Amino acid sequence: MADGEEAATAYTIGWEPQPGPQTALLACPVFEVFFGGARGGGKTDGMLGEWASHADLHGKNAVGLMVRRERVQLLETIERSRQIYGPIGARYNDQDKMWRWPNGARLRFAYLERDADADAYQGHSYTRVYVEELGTFPVHPRGVTDHPPRRPAPLS
């Protein structure tokens, strides 16, 4: 290497957002985002990609949870996450259903088949929570949360 010449850093790009909604999702400054669309439209990839960006930015302070209603619904999401996260150095623990990044970031997959299953997560602290297929969850009589309803900000 000549004086002043820097070594090229080798890295792998595990995922890139599609132009349009996925790109808007990653650029969106709003904390709570409802990201919807047709089946096969890239919603799950958008969430997995958003997490990879968050994990890279916040390291050990990034702690995420991705939930679906049923365990079987998680299988394809976990398989897709293997394609994205494995090549970038994250390690998956099948027993814990958790990804760990070299920088300390963690993403756990869980299913909430019964409303009471959510009680197991009470008191946990997450920097990101992804609810896949929100429409498969029953609606609480007062809404999804006890907070007054807010209109989600549009992504475009």
Distance, CA of 100 to CA of 92 (rounded, Å): 6
Q: How confident is the model at residue 61 (pLDDT cuts 50, 70, 90)?
A: very high
Tens digits of residue pLDDT in 70-92: 889 899 999 999 999 999 999 99
- pTM for this predicted structure: 0.76
CA proximity to 128, closest of 28, 19, 37: 28
Q: How confident is the model at residue 102 (pLDDT cuts 50, 70, 90)?
A: very high
Length of the chain: 156
Buried b (16+ CB within 10 A) or exposed e, 44-61: bbbbbbbbbebbeebeee
